[in-house]
Chain A
Amino acid sequence: MNPAPSVILFTVLSGAGFGLLGFLGLGVISPTGLIAFSYFTLAFAMAVGGLLASTLHLGNPRNALKAFSQWQTSWLSREAWLAVLTLAVMGLYAIGAIFFGKHLSVLGILGADLSFLTVFATSMIYAQLKTVPRWNQWLTPLLFLSFSLSAATMLTAQNGLAVAPLAVTGVLLILHWLSGDKRFSASGSTIETATGLGGIGKVRLLAPPHTGSNYLMKEMIYVVGRKHALRLRWITLALAVVLPALILLLAPASVLTTALAFILHLIGAFAARWLFFAEAEHVVGLYYGKR
Chain B
Amino acid sequence: MTSLPTHTEKKLGLVIDLDICVGCHACVTACKGWNDQGYGAPLSDQKPYGDEPEGTFLNRVHSFEITPENGPAQIVHFPKSCLHCDDAPCVTVCPTGASYKRSEDGIVLVNEDACIGCGLCAWACPYGAREMDQAAGIMKKCTLCVDRIYNENLPEADREPACVRTCPTGARAFGDLADPTSAVSKSVADRGGFDLMPELGTKPVNQYLFPRIKDFEGDLDVLSPLLDIQPEATGISGWLDKLLGKL
CA of A210 to CA of B57 in the docked complex: distance in angstroms? Answer: 11
Q: Is B124 an interface position by the 8 A CB rule?
A: yes
Cβ-defined contact, B128 with A287, below 8 A: yes
In the complex, chain A residues 31-62 whose Cβ is within 8 Å of any chain B Cβ: 57-62
- Residues of A within 8 Å of B96, CB to CB, are 63, 66-67, 69-70, 77
Question: Please, which residues of chain B bring their CB within 8 A of the CB of A60?
Answer: 115-117, 136-138
**What range describes how many residues of B lie at the interface?**
35 or more
What residues on B are CB-neighbors of A282 within 8 Å?
123
A72→B124 CA distance, assembly (Å)? 17
In the complex, what residue of chain B is closest to A285 when comparing beta carbons?
B128
Judged by a CB distance under 8 angstroms, whether B54 is at the interface is yes
Whether A72 and B3, one on each chain, are in contact in the complex, defined by CB atoms closer than 8 angstroms, is yes
Which residue of chain A has the shortest Cβ distance to B200 in the bound complex? A130
A195 touching B196 in the complex, CB below 8 Å, given contacts A60-B137, A203-B65? yes
Complex contacts, B219 vs chain A, CB 8 Å: none
Q: Mark A75-100, 1 if CB is under 8 A from B, else 0.
A: 11100100000000000000000000
A-B contacts, 7 listed (Cβ < 8 Å): A59-B137, A63-B96, A73-B2, A74-B95, A196-B208, A212-B54, A213-B52
Q: Is A187 an interface residue (CB 8 A)?
A: yes
**Known A-B contacts A58-B117, A69-B96, A206-B63; A214 and B126 likewise in contact (beta carbons under 8 Å):** no
A131-B126 in contact (CB<8A): yes
Query: From DSSP, what is the main secondary structure of chain B's interface residues?
Result: loop
From known contacts A70-B94, A128-B93, A187-B199, infer whether A57 and B118 are also in contact, taking CB-CB under 8 Å: yes
Within 8 A of A (CB), among B56-84: 56-57, 60-69, 73-76, 78, 80
Closest 6 A-B residue pairs measured CB to CB?
A59-B117, A59-B137, A201-B68, A209-B60, A66-B96, A77-B95
Q: What chain B residues lie within 8 Å of A213 (beta carbons)? A: 52, 54
Given A69-B97, A203-B64, 19 additional A-B pairs, CB 8 A: A60-B138, A61-B117, A73-B2, A77-B96, A129-B123, A130-B200, A130-B201, A196-B195, A197-B18, A199-B210, A200-B66, A201-B69, A205-B63, A209-B60, A219-B132, A284-B127, A284-B128, A287-B62, A287-B128
Task: Tell whether, in the assembled complex, residue A219 and residue B115 are in contact, meaning their CB atoms are under 8 Å apart.
Answer: no
- Which residues of B sit under 8 angstroms from A57, Cβ to Cβ? 118-119
A215 touches B122 (CB 8 A): yes
> Which partner residue on chain B sits nearest A204 by CB separation?
B65
Give CA–CA (A76, B75) in the complex, Å: 41
Collect the chain A residues with CB atoms within 8 Å of residue B68's CB.
200-202
Contact of A189 with B66 in the complex, beta carbons under 8 Å: no
* Option from B53, B62, B117, B126 in Cβ contact (under 8 Å) with A208: B62
